[in-house]
Structure 1
Amino acid sequence: MFQNIIIGQYVPGNSVLHRLDPRAKLVAVFLLVLFVFFANDWISYGVLVTFTLTVILLSRVPLSFIYRGLRPILWLVLLTVLLHLLMTKEGAVVFTIGGFTVHEQGIINGVFLSIRLLTLVILTSLLTLTTTPIQVTDGLETLLSPLKRIGVPAHEIALMISIALRFIPTFMQETEKIMKAQMARGVDLTTGPIKERLNALLPLLIPLFMSAFKRAEDLALAMEARGYRGGEGRTKLRALTWKSRDTWLLIVVCAFGVGLFLLRA
């Protein structure tokens, strides 16, 4: 399951999204995360889904790859739908099962929130799927550079965020490896009471933390051996270049947000 995590992974390619400036993509994703909450009816959610599918096609990332990446959160989506079905008591009664009454508004709220959650995950994941960690670091540092005037360490913050994104899939793979090793030794992580399953997680967490600290130490030593001393005086091998397509990206995203707002019921 953990090998399907798509957040933090990069898929090499030469699509339109791959060629965009990372600064434009970062700003666009930030705006899209806000615009997603403008949708509140079937028409606006239909436009949101259409826009998301279009972005996926433009990225040329295989749909099967994105689907495998979404599978780990489908349980969360299903839980969200069930909670709305059981707790929302507005609208006409659709059906009754085992003493629980399902109302029309509960179904609508569950579907809408599921679409919103999946859309947020897909749009934010496409940022890392089409942008290398180095580009993410450079883009974040450039966007945060005005804050240097008030003492904010823009380079260090950008570096920490990019390293965190880079190591998400690595730690997920490490977690799965440790789980399989513990299960091979007889540890049951999938059945039994909740208390026993939580206790069984202790043998998983300890080696995972040890591995995380070891990787952090190795990374720090490697950076120090290469003369890393922070962002002051550093030069870049590839300078970021803002082009007309990056401006058009922000125009399209802003137009999309305005359209969603006007479609609100």
Structure 2
Amino acid sequence: MNDKILIGRYIQIDSWVHSLDPRTKLIATFYFILLVFFANNILGYGTLFLVLLFGIKLSRLDLKFFFKGLKPMIWIILFTVVFQILFTSGGQTYFNWGPISITSLGLLGGFYIFMRLFLIIMMSTILTLTTAPLELTDGIEHLLRPLTHLGFPSHEVALMLSIALRYVPTLLDEAQTIMNAQRSRGVEFDEGSMMDRMKAIVPILVPLFVSAFNRAEELATAMESRGYHGAEGRTKYRYLDYDRNDVIVLCVMILITIIIIGIRFYF
């Protein structure tokens, strides 16, 4: 299961994207997501798709590896797309049966929903695959640091997000281990009615929650035993510095913004 879910994983290789400052990758990722929602036509989404492919190329990560990691989430995406298609009215009607109808606007809206989810998931995956958890924590903390003057706990929030990303693959591996143990005891997860399948999940959730709480308690005990008391009085072992590549990324994002705005209002 750890090979199927990419969120929270980090692959250490030598690439141009890996060498970027984590703050640059965070800003570029969230800004790209904003552009995804700003685009409103096929040409705009096609432009963002080309940007995504270029980012994957610079990261030196295999494209097949991305699609393999996207496979477990494809059913959620398809459900959202089908719901959008069947319950959106307007334009030319191709099929109509009660409240369910397939129209030209519904098909177009389904395509837009698919592209948005696809682009967001893939770009977020690039961020986590090319950024170590510690670098991600430092980047988030530096970006949120101005809010500390307003009493916002930037260090604690960054640490919380980093720990959450770090333990996603671990919890998935534990869930797979529990499922294998339940299968060895005769539990079937793929047979029976929907209610039977939901009941079969309970033997997985209970030990998984118990294991997660135990792991959290062990982590808290380990941090306290090492004298961790938050950001107060702490110094930095790693310092983040922008270089020429980070400036190039920010300039490229500005250029992409101009292109998307032009496409939105003139095409």
TM-score range, shorter chain: over 0.9
Q: How does 1:1-265 map to 2 (within 5 A)?
A: 1=1, 3-94=3-94, 101-264=101-264, 265=267
Shift of 1:96: 7.5
Alpha-carbon displacement from aligned partner over 1:1-21 (angstroms, at most 9, x marks no partner) = 554111111010121110000
Separation in 2 of the partners of 1:146 and 1:102? 49
Superposed CA offset, 1:33-79 (max 9, x none): 11111211111111111111111111111112111110011111221
CA distance in 2 between partners of 1:235 and 1:10 (Å): 25
Q: Give, in whole Å, the separation in 1 of the partners of 2:238 and 2:217.
A: 28
Alpha-carbon shift at residue 225 of structure 1 (Å): 2.6
AA of the residue aligned to 2:131? T
CA contact (8 A) 1:32 1:257 kept: no
CA displacement at 1:100 relative to structure 2:
6.3
Change over 3 Å in CA distance of 1:85–1:154 after alignment to 2:
closer
Q: Name which of structure 1's ranges 20-29 and 88-97 shifts more when overlaid on structure 2.
A: 88-97
Say which SS state the counterpart of residue 18 (structure 2) adopts: helix
* Alpha-carbon displacement from aligned partner over 1:60-109 (angstroms, at most 9, x marks no partner): 11112111110011111221222233222322244679x96532222221
**Unaligned regions of 5+ residues in structure 2, if any?**
none
Question: Partner of 1:201: helix, strand, or coil?
Answer: helix
Residue segments in structure 1 that go unaligned for 5+ positions in a row: none
TM-score by length of 2: 0.92
Aligned length: 265
Please report the RMSD computed on the Cα atoms of aligned residues, expressed in angstroms.
2.0
Comparing 46-55 with 74-83, greater Cα deviation is found at 74-83
Alpha-carbon contact 2:88-2:101 (below 8 Å) kept? no
Higher relative contact order (CA closer than 8 Å, sequence separation 6+): 1
2:87–2:100 CA contact under 8 A, matched in 1: no
User: What TM-score does the superposition give when structure 1 sets the normalisation length?
Assistant: 0.93
Local SS of the residue matching 2:208: helix
